[in-house]
Amino acid sequence: MIRYQPPIADLAFALEHVVGYPDIASFPGFEHADLDTVVDLIGQCGDFMAEVVAPTNHSGDVESAHRQPDGSVVTPAGFAEAYRHYVEAGWGSVPLPEEFGGGGFPRTVGLIIQELMTSANMAFALCPLLTQGAIEALLHYGDAGQKRRYLPKMVSGEWTGTMNLTEPQAGSDVGALTTRAVPQPDGSFAITGQKMFITFGDHDMAEQIVHLVLARTPGAPAGTKGISCFIVPKFLVNDDESLGERNSVHTVSLEHKMGIHGAPTCVLSYEEATGYLIGEENLGMRIMFVMMNSARLSVGMQGLAVGERAYQQSLAYAQERRQGLAIGATGADSAIIEFPDVRRMLLTQRASLAALQYLMLLDASYVDRSTHDPNPAARARANEIVGILTPICKSFGSDLGNELTSLALQIHGGMGYIEETGVAQHMRDVRIAAIYEGTNGIQAADLVGRKLGVRGGASVMEFLATMREIGTELAEAGTEFDTIREELDRQFDALEQATQWMLSTGRADPNSVLAGSTPYLRMWGLCTSGWLLARAAVSAPATGDARREESQLVLARFYAEQLLPQCAGLLGAATAGSRDLFALDADQLSGATSRVRH
């Protein structure tokens, strides 16, 4: 295992030359967040994460969070101390409103802080990530008293937050939840039910945990229309804002998981616990989506962040591990980095990670544009683009997290399969990202079912037209960019063909559209990645850094020639329809009908 090296120079390049951060910094309210200040800030943050948080990653995986005999939950050694330093340094408050003690920096900056922390230790980073989602829900829907009581200490990180959605019988079908919320004479509600998969549902890193819990009030409509959202604190808060008696919420058990062992994933039992309604009754789904949409971009970022950590480790190993003799080499043996297939795996990781970096920051930058651009029309358009990009970021980012950590393990060969090298942890940790906060199949369904039809399809077609504009810049950049331009043009054509098919098929045959939604989303991920790498390549000469210019060109060309062609290959799957998916019954799928009977 090697020391984590925060990629600050790459992040600074992405901000200035790929996603247009200087424009964000010019918006009212962000005057203090100019590019130079931000680069200095993330440099300090990177040092903190590498020195304080990263050393807890492997040890936390080995030790795991655990439940004590008295029912309390303890995180691995070093977590609580690292979290205390994190709160003291103020990193969690940087992108949050100044009104409640935050730094008032853009979401784009906050996402970078999350990335650096996730690369350092994904399990640890989940606690601040979920707290931010709870904060955003309260900012949007909490009343003045709730904001005053809970937000200052949540923004500082002294108190943490959770999302309590899932129940054993419901899974992703949130509308099937049965947790009850009964009104009390004092205006509070008695919350009774059980929630599962609650990340950091209990722990020893903060004195208070603010649970946001979905539940049903008496007589509420069935399904998702009858869900409300409640604040249920671990400890009741007194009128003087000191902590009072323990609320009736308890940890029944901790899940034994494939990865993220340092993060306690709790089954929580609410037994007439005191809760406080957020907003109005039956608005729970709307409030939940504030939390979920915030988290979905962050989850896509997890694929990037853990993939980066695994890549750094595999690159170091490829330079150290000597085995065989490369063609044209002399001596007893060669480092495996000299072999073409290892180079292919390394360059696949490097190019894909660069693309994901640009994609995540682009989405975050549009979040900032949607809230702070002075032009109302620009804000509205930015909000549409966020709607398109978020399911792509979540799904494509987490899928690549799986694939890239697998490549890192492959480069290690047999030693990658041995836990002591540490590379297997990255693969185990990141696997959950494709599942939680809405599985990637749900993201694909959201893309084709909700986002594709915005303004009759005009929204996505305008975005595709914007991506096509890179062709002119590539043509002007020189002949070395020709293959990038030609391949992008071919793949944009394939994506447009798939999009037109989706738009024309959707109303008449929604099952067929859903059947092709996952490969269709992958087409979007590949095309946006190729486009952003091309943008980086044509922008790199402005840095005056010849090595940066060369590397960006090579990454864009490698991606265009060797990875991007997968897009057209998915066209058939995206437009095949649902006939064969439903042609076989369960017995046929099991092969039962083909068994020889005696």
The pTM score is 0.95
Mean pLDDT in residue range 134-144 = 96
**pLDDT tens per residue across span 357-401:** 999 999 999 999 999 999 999 999 999 999 999 999 999 999 999
Is the pLDDT assigned to residue 170 strictly greater than 70?
Answer: no
**pLDDT tens per residue across span 186-200:** 999 999 999 999 999
Whether residue 508 lies inside any domain: the answer is: yes
**pLDDT tens per residue across span 69-106:** 999 999 999 999 999 999 999 999 999 999 999 999 99
Annotated catalytic residue, options 308, 338, 437, 487: 437
Worst-scoring range by mean pLDDT, 112-116, 249-253, 290-294, 341-345? 290-294
Q: Would you state the pLDDT for residue 168?
A: 79
Whether residue 366 lies inside any domain: the answer is: no
Distance CA 413, CA 421 (A): 11
Whether residue 35 lies inside any domain: the answer is: no
CATH number at residue 192: 2.40.110.20
Query: Quick one: CA dihedral 144, 145, 148, 149, positive or negative?
Result: negative
Is the pLDDT assigned to residue 290 strictly greater than 90?
Answer: no
Whether residue 193 lies inside any domain: the answer is: yes
Q: Would you state the pLDDT for residue 137?
A: 95
**Cα–Cα nearest to 520, from 337, 397, 396, 407:** 396
The one-letter amino acid code at 453 reads G
Assess contact for 172 and 201: CB atoms under 8 A.
no
Domain boundary among 215, 249, 282: 282
Q: What percent of the chain has pLDDT over 70?
A: 98
Any residues with CB less than 8 A from the CB of 45 and at least 6 apart, and which? 6, 91, 112, 113, 116
Whether residue 314 lies inside any domain: the answer is: no
Number of domains comprising the chain: 2
The confidence band for 594, taking pLDDT boundaries of 50, 70 and 90, is: low
The parent domain of residue 568 ranges over: 453-582
Reading the block at residue 174, the tokens are 């949130």
CA dihedral 566, 569, 570, 576 (to 10 degrees): 180
Domain boundary among 282, 302, 335: 282
Q: Would you state the pLDDT for residue 399?
A: 98
Spell out the alpha helix ranges (H) of 506-565. Answer: 510-515, 517-539, 546-558
What is the 3-state composition of the chain as percent helix, strand, coil, each rounded to the nearest 5?
65, 10, 25
Any residues with CB less than 8 A from the CB of 151 and at least 6 apart, and which? 100, 135, 138, 139, 142
Whether residue 137 lies inside any domain: the answer is: yes
Q: Are strands 228-233 and 235-237 parallel, antiparallel or unpaired?
A: unpaired
Q: Would you state the pLDDT for residue 288?
A: 87
User: Could you confirm whether 280 is annotated as catalytic?
Assistant: no
Q: To the nearest whole number, what is the mean pLDDT of the chain?
A: 95
User: 181: helix, coil or strand?
Assistant: strand
Worst-scoring range by mean pLDDT, 461-475, 547-561, 576-590? 576-590
Distance of CA 173 to the CA centre of its chain: 21
Distance CA 281, CA 272 (A): 18
**Cα–Cα nearest to 49, from 108, 93, 7:** 7
Q: Would you state the pLDDT for residue 176?
A: 75
Domain boundary among 237, 254, 282: 282
Mean pLDDT in residue range 205-224 = 95
Whether residue 13 lies inside any domain: the answer is: no
